[in-house]
Amino acid sequence: MSEELQEQRLIILDTETTGINPREGHRIVEIGCVEMVNRQLTGRTYHVYLKPMQNGMQMVMDQEVINIHGLTDEFLRDKPQFHQVAQEFIDFIKGAELVIHNAKFDIGFMNHEFSMINGLPMTEDICTVTDTLQVAKDEFGSPKTLDYLAKFYKVDKLVDRTYHGALIDAQLLAFVYVEMTRKQSALDLSAGDGHQEGTDANAIRRLPENRTKLKIIHATADELEEHKKRLAIVAEKGSEPLWQH
């Protein structure tokens, strides 16, 4: 894996909104981001609640929407408006690759918010974007919800999702993303440093037929027993070894 890829900065992002269509005046009420570098969570997050405004007044959300994310009009009343946090939000995500489930939805809302503030760029000018909904479609043959993927990859119990909060869903998506892209972290099986003159770094390198045979070391009876005990512990935790999938 190249050094450039290893140092790639990912921002796993999710939003909660007042509705489903920004063109109808709906706004973002929560943004949650978690940072990953080299596919590892760094502990850095960006999280903010926002007061949704329309025509100079706070929007009143439908109860159906409140039931989804658990954010009430009263709770959001003293929260900042998007334009008050826009620059710090941009500073956090700038230059990163955004990882979003159903990115069209979140990017649509983000660009709507940016467009209402003079001089701010669009999301595509700030970051690159990976849509895990599309990744799931490529992997499974059809789009899958975040809930489905979390259960499939056995990470659904890692966070409490009583409500679909943005930061909570971003944290869950981070676990899903690591699992669903794990096979992309391929080993470099080429011999040498790949820079020898007149050689193809990606070519298959074969060992000579007259090489010394490798010694086969079998597990002892005690080691086999310890292995069975370890598998039993894994089973008790509701999981199974990767080779049994």
Q: What is the dihedral of CA 150, 154, 158, 161, to 10 degrees?
A: 40
Beta carbons of 177 and 98 less than 8 angstroms apart: no
Q: Which residue has the tokens 């979003």?
A: 100
Kindly report, residue by residue over 62-120, the tens digit of the pLDDT: 999 999 899 999 999 999 999 999 999 999 999 999 999 999 999 999 999 999 999 99
Within 13 A of 127's CA, how many CA atoms are on the CB side?
25
Residue-level pLDDT at 224: 79
Within 13 A of 33's CA, how many CA atoms are on the CB side?
22
**Regions of the chain where pLDDT drops below 50:** 1-6, 186-203, 245
Provide the annotated active-site residues. Answer: 164
Residue-level pLDDT at 2: 45
DSSP string of 156-206, one letter each residue:
TTSS--SS--HHHHHHHHHHHHHHHTGGGS-----STTS--TT--TTS--P
Residue-level pLDDT at 211: 66
Beta carbons of 90 and 120 less than 8 angstroms apart: yes
Is pTM, for the whole model, over 0.85?
no
Beta carbons of 176 and 10 less than 8 angstroms apart: no
Beta carbons of 163 and 72 less than 8 angstroms apart: no
Residue-level pLDDT at 1: 42
